[in-house]
Structure 1
C-alpha cells in the first residue's frame, strides 16, 4: 500500500467539482443527470393522452375533471454518466514528476465522477495489466485513489496508441485520454480515427514538462530513448536546439490537427504549472469540469 498521491485538502476541494459534458449518451442505470428519455424523476416534462397499456397511476385526475379526457403526466428520466479514463503508462511518461502529475490528474477526474454517483471505469497501458476498474458511487473513492497511487512506474513497452484501443469499453459518455502524445503521428491518426465508436465526448489531456518544451542541455551529451533504450551522442548547439524546436512544433501542430479532425477536445497541461492550476484554472476555464 503506497501513500495516497492526493492530500486530504485537495480531495476536499475536488469534491466540489464534477465533469461537465453536453453529450446525450447516458447509461442504462439511474443517476443524477437529466436524460432525453422519459422516466420517473421529479422533473415534469409534459402531458400525453392516455392510451391502452399506460400505467393508470400516471393519470392526472385534475386534468380529467376539467376536460373529461384521460391524460398522463410524463417526467424526465435521470440516468448515470459513464466516464472512462485511459492513462498512458509507457516509458516516455516515466520521469518522476511527470508520472506523479499524470496520476494526480487521473485521480482527481475519477473522484469527480464517483462523487456524483456516476459510473467510472479506468484502465492504463503499461508493463502490468490490472483488472479494469469499473465502479459507481462515493464509497469507491478511496479504493480508486489507492489503486492509482499503487501503480508502479511507467514502464510500458510498445505503442500506447496501438494498445490503448484494447483497454476501452464501448459505452462511455465521456472518455479521457491522458498521455504525453509522443508516439508517431501515423499511430495517433489510427487511434483517433477509431475513438468515436467508444464515447460521445472524447478528451485528450497532454502532459508535458518544461524540459520537453525548452531543453536546458548544452555541450556533449548522451541521450537515451526512454521507449527503445537506443543511445545517441549529441553535441548540443543552438542549431540542434532550433531543429528540435522545429520538430516539436510540427508534431504538436499535427497532433492538434488530428484531434480537431476527429472531434476530440484536447488540452495541454504542464507539470511545472502545478496540479491546482491544472484543475482549478485550466480545466474549469475550458469547461471540462464545473
Structure 2
C-alpha cells in the first residue's frame, strides 16, 4: 500500500454521518447492534406482554399489570441486532483510470463509514495486484483506520480476474454485500460469479462505476487502443461507423449484465464518475433506497 492523504475530506465525513445503509433483509448475529430485528430480546423498544411461564426471567414481570389482574405477565422487547456489511472492490486494471479509481474508492469509503457510524460490523476486501488481509471491524472508533486503508490502496493494476478471485475473499452470511466494479469482464465470467453471490448474502448490490469517456468516446482519427487488462493492442481508424459499433456492443454488454443480475436477484445501479460523489450518494443511492 502507498501512503497518501484521506480520500474523503472532513466535511464529507460529516455529510456521510447523516446516512445509513438501508436493508429489508433479516438481521441475524450474536452481537448487539442498532437495528431492530424481528426477534424478541432485551432492547429498550417495548413490543407486548406475554403470560409468565415457568423458566421466564422474573425480572421481566410487570408488577403493575399483576396488581390490576392478579396474573403474571412479562414484558417483551424487540431485540436489536447488528448489520454485517461486506464491500468488495474491483482493483483490476480496467479500474485504473485515475478519476475512476478515486471515485470507486470514495464510494466504497462512504458506504463503509455509514456502516461503522451505526455501530455495525464492516468487512472490506479487494481484488487487485496484491491481496491484503480483509478489514473487519465494528463501531465508529474504526472510521479513520478504515479510511486510511481505502485511501492507501495501490493503483488499480491487478492482472487477475475479478470475478474468479473475488469469490475467494467473501465472508459468509453478510446482511448486505456490495460489489463495486466496472463490470468489464466477459459475461460468462460474470454469470459464474453472480450466481454464487446469493450464498453469501440475501441482499447483494452491484455498483457499476463508469466514466463519460466509456459511455461516449471522444476519440477521432487513427489511434492505437490498448486493452488495460491484457495489454494487447489494436490500431483503429475511428469513424462514425466504428463509434456506432462500439455503442452497439456496449449496450449489448449492459443489457446482458442487467439480465444476469436480475436473474440472480441482485440489485444494480450505475454511477457515472463525472456526476460526482454528492449525486451518487444523495441522489442515486438515496432514491434507490440503498441508503437512508
**Residue 92 (structure 1) aligns with:** 94
Q: Distance in 1 between matches of 2:83 and 2:185?
A: 30
Contact 2:27/2:82, CA 8 A, preserved across alignment = no
Q: CA deviation at 1:25?
A: 3.0
Q: Deviations over 1:179-234 (max 9, x none)?
A: 00011111111111111111121110000011111111111111110000001111
Q: Distance in 1 between matches of 2:140 and 2:63?
A: 40
Contact 2:27/2:81, CA 8 A, preserved across alignment = no
Structure 1's unaligned 5+ residue stretches are: none
Q: 2:113 aligns with which of 106, 111, 114?
A: 111
**Residue 180 (structure 2) aligns with:** 178
Structure 2's unaligned 5+ residue stretches are: none
Q: Deviations over 1:146-193 (max 9, x none)?
A: 100000000111211111111110121111000000111111111111
Q: CA deviation at 1:9?
A: 1.0
RMSD: 0.9
**Residue 197 (structure 1) aligns with:** 199
Q: Distance in 2 between matches of 1:55 and 1:67?
A: 19
**Residue 237 (structure 1) aligns with:** 239
Tell me the SS of whatever aligns to 2:141. Answer: helix
Q: Deviations over 1:27-65 (max 9, x none)?
A: 320010001111101111122222211111111222222
**Residue 15 (structure 2) aligns with:** 13
**Residue 208 (structure 2) aligns with:** 206
**Residue 81 (structure 2) aligns with:** 79
Q: Distance in 1 between matches of 2:56 and 2:45?
A: 19
1:27 aligns with 2:67: no
Q: Distance in 2 between matches of 1:26 and 1:5?
A: 32
1:133 aligns with 2:118: no
Contact 1:25/1:200, CA 8 A, preserved across alignment = no
**Residue 157 (structure 1) aligns with:** 159
What's the TM-score once normalised by structure 2's chain length?
A: 0.97
For 1:247-286, list aligned pairs within 5 A. Answer: 247-286=249-288
Q: Deviations over 1:95-131 (max 9, x none)?
A: 0000000000011111111111111000000111111
Tell me the SS of whatever aligns to 2:196. Answer: helix
Q: Distance in 1 between matches of 2:253 and 2:208?
A: 13
Across the two proteins, how many residue pairs are aligned to each other?
290
Contact 2:212/2:272, CA 8 A, preserved across alignment = yes
What's the TM-score once normalised by structure 1's chain length?
A: 0.98
Contact 2:112/2:122, CA 8 A, preserved across alignment = yes
